[in-house]
Amino acid sequence: MSVQIQSLTRRAPNASRKMLDGVSLTIEDGAFVALVGPSGAGKTTLLRTIAGLDGPYEGTVLVDGQVLAGRPMRERRIGFVFQNYALFRHMTVARNISFGLDVLPRGERPDRGAIAARVAELLELIQLPTLGGAYPDQLSGGQRQRVALARALATKPGLLLLDEPFGALDPIVRRQIRRWLRGLHDQLGLTTVLVTHDHDEALEVADRLVVMQNGRIVQEAAAETLDAAPATPFVMEFLGEALEFAGRVAHGRFLPDDPNVLSFAVSAGDGPATAYLRPHEARLVAAGGAARAIPLTGGQGGLRRLAVALGTREVEILVLPERLGQAGTEGLGLDIGRARLFRDGAPLAGAPPVASGQELPRVTVG
Amino acid sequence: MVFCLRRRDGLPGLSISIAFTLVWIGLIVALPLTALVLRPWQEGGGAMLRALHDARMYAALRVSFGCAALAAAIDVPLGLLLAWALVRARLPGRRAIDALIDLPFALPTAVTGITLATLYGPTGWVGALLARAGIRVAYTPAGIVAALMFVGLPFIVRAVEPVLRGLPPELEEAGLLLGASPLQNFRRVILPPLLPPLVAGFSLAFARCIGEYGSVIFIAGNQPFHSEIAPLLIVVRLQEYDYNGATAIALILLLSALVCMTGVAALRRRVSRGLVARGAA
Amino acid sequence: MGGPSRRGNAVLVAATYLTVLAVLVLPVLLVMVEALRTGIAAAWRSLLDPDALSAIRLTLLVTLVATLVNTAGGIMAAWLVTKYRFRGRGVLVALIELPISVSPVIAGLVWLLLFGRQGWWGGWLDQHDIQIAFATPGILLATLFVTFPYVARTLMPFMEQQGREAEEAAFLLGAGFWRTLWRVTLPDARWALLSGILLTTARGIGEFGAVSVVSGHIPGLTETMPLHIETLYNGYQTVAAFTMAALLALIAMATVLLRSFLEHDFRKASS
């Protein structure tokens, strides 16, 4: 099922603050989309509005080209999984799963046997075939999570909405369920929208990321595009640790304010600019400045952490272990040739293609 | 009241629950209380003024307010003791005592009334003892206080208990370790956070006591100007078909109860804010 | 543990037992002793008196209707107040709790102001020969007013911390309002609901002041159990009065004990 949202605005009750501010978004049939952003960005509000949980709002929400507001829920074919699962405490797992079928009007309701068969099938699908008689209180977090999913899937929805579904799980279970969910999405041909504040999670499981901030969509793109060409410094910083260097562009070169940072070529108009890059994208070179490097404990992904003392401040970068030899030497320069440049919060048109690193595709910003 | 009735989506049942609730409240509470508030103006202000010019009424109000205040005041230390024991002591039979504390609230007032009248009566278990010491309780204002004490006790306990439960016992230990004497510790460390709930409990008990009827009339003696409570005077006025007189007393009682409840609500907000602030610190 | 010392604890426990015994247990004990003063047979016979039986019947009828109405109203009001946010919510809660702080005598008086002979609609009722004041309908109205808040008040805090996610989940799965209320909200809140109903029933059975004002005090006709106790007591039929009082006291004891267990239960369930 596809979703089209056009200039959707929602206000907080009793306040003029906009929880969603002119949001437009298209989700294609079969897509797996993650809504990411800091808390309060409007992700959950957007998800709940698509589900039809909160009203009123301005703008249109179309699912498969149709307005759903006011239509009975069972005609909408939407499955929703809550952050805390919202399992019915007083019902067994099986009754929880069959609830959506039990409440169908008599004419449409499958007979008892068919419902039982569907529940058994779903229990099998969530790999809890023996737990139909248990109560939610007796389950672990991961099991509850899967029951909530089965309950949402019982009525065969085309659109699956998940609100921070992994928030309460420990890291190992989280990873397992994430993979399992992605498999389920592909297997059942669902359209899935996932809300999370964890960008790593979103990067791993979703095809496309929608980054939100203050009730607006800041950028919507595939994971690699987001990192290579973030639309704002916020997106850059939200997706991971970023180093920031102020400076200006003159005569086709970016000139950092700090003399120990090397300039590099750009094809942009003259004026002030700010460069952002990931700590692992910076490199130390043997000349061109007066920086000193001090090795730090720790690192990540096989890289080691290094503190670089520049003129007025210190930044931390990640380097390959074999380059740790540079530590202790003086008179170093910092090469930030792979930085993304911004001016007034927008990407600088004509900034250089990210100097090709092995792990990054070449992307130009249009 | 403004309801946000325009709602395209969201949890169903808003309009039906609004309709049901408003009819329910309207018919059972709002309508009769409106009658009470409007009644005095029906026959002009003069009739009301005459009704207010009644020495017996003021005497009855004095008895009601005085006895209620005294009873609630005596209940404060007793209630604090019980709440303290429930929360902090190693108390065998805690559950039973916890349940018993609500008994005055659930026991029909007529039962309380005849029981206390018998208990404190000249030949009763307690009354006979006191009579030997030359103290008369039944059929005097002291009897009224005794009955109201019984009625008001649960309010103090139930107001203090949750706040006490939220206070870490470490507070007292910290006080003692810092060298405070037990008395100083009580006055400076323990009492201040308990003061708002104690005042709230006092107000609740007081509000309940000024309106109390059934448990008092059997023991009070009901002599005008001496041991006649205001609610009883309402009944007397009604029997005399003096609806204005009855309504005047009723309005004064209602207003006093409302003032107490508003005060309690304000206190509650302060207490909960205080707890939140403590929790955040 | 930061509790009192061994000796301090002993003193505290002793003082507590003494207070509970003197203030709470002694009266109940006295009721039982007085009721059984002339033996259990005499007590039993006094309950079989036609006026006593009529009082019991009237009390049960009035309490049943009042409890039904206020349970239905309380459920709807608690749902409204806890599942939605709207302006005027605080006023609504205050109105629901108002009858608690109204003197029972006033709770009777207000109905006389409406339906009594000098009341707003008294003349009209008189002309059409409809009896509300000093008759069963009046007693019912007074009981309705007095027992008004308890179901709503017990449900509200519980349903507040329930949140609304379960209801939203049910709604998204296709359940309508009644179905959600009946299959999701109330089963989960059943202990709180039962506790509220118990309190409503106990208050209804025991109401004296409000009912006394609107009842005609006609034995065998408009006397409820508490009113009948008054009549018996003032007529020096002490055993009969205390027997009925003992019956009511037993109901009250059962109510507080049951509620204490229920509350323990739903506190545990909600934590």
pLDDT digits (tens, 9 = 90+) for A267-282: 888 899 999 999 999 8
Domains of chain A in start order, with CATH, are 3-231 (3.40.50.300), 241-347 (no CATH)
* Per-residue confidence (pLDDT) for residue C69, from 0 to 100: 98
The one-character DSSP state at A291 is B
Q: Which residue has the higher pLDDT, A342 or A53?
A: A342
B162 and B40 in one domain? no
Q: For residue B49, is it within any domain?
A: no
Q: For residue B144, is it within any domain?
A: yes
Q: For residue B211, is it within any domain?
A: yes
The one-character DSSP state at A341 is E
* Per-residue confidence (pLDDT) for residue B190, from 0 to 100: 82
B226 vs B63: CA distance, rounded Å:
7
Q: pLDDT of A317-342, one tens digit each?
A: 888 887 777 777 778 888 888 899 99
Nearest CA in chain B to A48: B10
A183 vs A126: CA distance, rounded Å:
12
* Per-residue confidence (pLDDT) for residue A14, from 0 to 100: 65
A18-35: buried (b, 16+ CB within 10 Å) or exposed (e) per residue?
A: bbbbebebebeeebbbbb
Query: Which portions of chain B are predicted below pLDDT 50?
Result: 1-8, 275-281
Say whether pLDDT at A167 is over 90. Answer: no
Backbone angles phi, psi at A72, to 5 degrees: -60, 145
Q: Is the dihedral of CA A349, A353, A354, A359 positive or negative?
A: positive
Subunits in contact with chain B (3 or more CB pairs closer than 8 Å): A, C
CB A271 within 8 A of CB A248: yes
List Cα–Cα distances, A299 to A244, A307, A320, A321, B233, in angstroms.
Answer: 20, 11, 10, 10, 84
Residues from chain C contacting residue A11 (CB–CB below 8 Å): none
C133 vs A296: CA distance, rounded Å:
88
Domain that holds residue B256: 54-280
Contact B8 A53 (CB under 8 A): no
* Per-residue confidence (pLDDT) for residue A27, from 0 to 100: 94
A1 vs A27: CA distance, rounded Å:
9
CATH of domain C39-270: 1.10.3720.10
Q: List the single residue in B4, B6, B9 with the smallest CB-CB distance to A53.
A: B9
User: Which one of A68-82, A283-297, B240-254 scores highest in mean pLDDT?
Assistant: B240-254
B74 and B21 in one domain? no
Backbone angles phi, psi at B147, to 5 degrees: -65, -45
Nearest CA in chain B to C117: B241
Residues from chain C contacting residue B172 (CB–CB below 8 Å): 2
For the segment A28-39, the average pLDDT, to the nearest whole number, is: 93
List Cα–Cα distances, A17 to A20, A288, B188, C87, C244, in angstroms.
Answer: 9, 50, 45, 17, 62
A72 vs A90: CA distance, rounded Å:
25
Q: Is the dihedral of CA B116, B117, B123, B127 positive or negative?
A: positive
Report the predicted TM-score, pTM, of the whole model to 2 decimal places: 0.84
B64 and B29 in one domain? no
B157 vs B82: CA distance, rounded Å:
7
B170 and B130 in one domain? yes
In 3-state terms, what secondary structure has residue B123?
Answer: coil
Element (H, E) at A80: strand A78-81
CB A304 within 8 A of CB A327: no
For the segment A189-201, the average pLDDT, to the nearest whole number, is: 90
Q: How confident is residue C8, by pLDDT bands cut at 50, 70 and 90?
A: confident
* Per-residue confidence (pLDDT) for residue A361, from 0 to 100: 37
B107 and B15 in one domain? no
The one-character DSSP state at A273 is E
* Per-residue confidence (pLDDT) for residue B6, from 0 to 100: 40
B15 touching chain A per CB within 8 A: no
Say whether pLDDT at C178 is over 90. Answer: yes
Q: How confident is residue C269, by pLDDT bands cut at 50, 70 and 90?
A: low
B3 touching chain A per CB within 8 A: no
B82 and B23 in one domain? no
In 3-state terms, what secondary structure has residue A348?
Answer: coil
Q: For residue B15, is it within any domain?
A: yes
Rg (CA), chain B: 23
Alpha helices in chain A (DSSP H): 43-51, 93-102, 112-125, 141-153, 171-188, 199-205, 223-228, 233-238
CA nearest to C109, candidates C144, C70, C138? C138
Q: What angle do CA B254, C209, B156 make, to 5 degrees?
A: 60
Q: How confident is residue C76, by pLDDT bands cut at 50, 70 and 90?
A: very high
A333 vs A335: CA distance, rounded Å:
6
- Of the residues C12, C106, C134, C223, the best mutation for testing chain B's interface (the one with the most B CB atoms within 10 Å of its CB) is C106
Q: How confident is residue A5, by pLDDT bands cut at 50, 70 and 90?
A: very high
Place of tokens 């993650």: A34
Residues from chain A contacting residue B9 (CB–CB below 8 Å): 52-56, 69-70
pLDDT exceeding 90 applies to what percent of chain C? 76
Q: What amino acid occupies position C55?
A: A
Q: pLDDT of A103-149, one tens digit each?
A: 888 888 999 999 999 999 999 988 899 999 999 999 998 899 999 99
CB C158 within 8 A of CB C192: yes
Which of A167-171, A184-188, A268-272, B235-239 has the weakest average pLDDT? A167-171
Q: For residue B37, is it within any domain?
A: yes
pLDDT exceeding 90 applies to what percent of chain A? 41
Q: Which residue has the higher pLDDT, C264 or C247?
A: C247
* Per-residue confidence (pLDDT) for residue B3, from 0 to 100: 37
B150 and B17 in one domain? no
For the segment C137-147, the average pLDDT, to the nearest whole number, is: 96
DSSP A113-145: HHHHHHHHHHHHHTT-TT-TT--GGGS-HHHHH
Instruction: Give the CATH number for residue B239.
Output: 1.10.3720.10
Say whether pLDDT at C152 is over 80. Answer: yes
Q: Is the dihedral of CA B77, B82, B83, B87 positive or negative?
A: positive
Q: For residue B175, is it within any domain?
A: yes
DSSP A298-314: EEETTEEEEEEE-SS-E
Q: Is the dihedral of CA C77, C78, C84, C85 positive or negative?
A: positive
CB A194 within 8 A of CB A174: no
Q: pLDDT of A232-241, one tens digit each?
A: 999 998 888 8
Mean pLDDT score across all residues of chain A: 86
User: Quick one: CA torsion of C257, C258, C259, C264, rounded to 10 degrees?
Assistant: 90
Q: How confident is residue A362, by pLDDT bands cut at 50, 70 and 90?
A: very low
ipTM score of the complex? Answer: 0.91
Nearest Cα of chain C lies from the Cα of B132 at a distance, in angstroms, of 19
B142 and B40 in one domain? no
CA nearest to C107, candidates C59, C141, C71? C141
Nearest Cα of chain B lies from the Cα of C161 at a distance, in angstroms, of 16
Contacts of C156 (CB under 8 A, 6+ apart): C78, C81, C82, C93
Q: For residue B222, is it within any domain?
A: yes
List Cα–Cα distances, B54 to A357, B39, B74, C103, C236, in angstroms.
Answer: 97, 18, 30, 21, 34
Nearest CA in chain B to C207: B108
A54 touching chain B per CB within 8 A: yes
* Domain total in chain B: 2
B253 and B215 in one domain? yes
Q: How confident is residue C135, by pLDDT bands cut at 50, 70 and 90?
A: very high
Q: For residue B140, is it within any domain?
A: yes
Say whether pLDDT at A350 is over 90. Answer: no
Q: What angle do CA C126, C128, C130 make, to 5 degrees?
A: 70
C173 touching chain A per CB within 8 A: yes
B1 and B85 in one domain? no
Say whether pLDDT at C108 is over 50. Answer: yes
Say whether pLDDT at C118 is over 70. Answer: yes
For the segment C237-257, the average pLDDT, to the nearest whole number, is: 95
Cis peptide before A56 (omega within 30 of 0): yes
Contact B14 C80 (CB under 8 A): yes
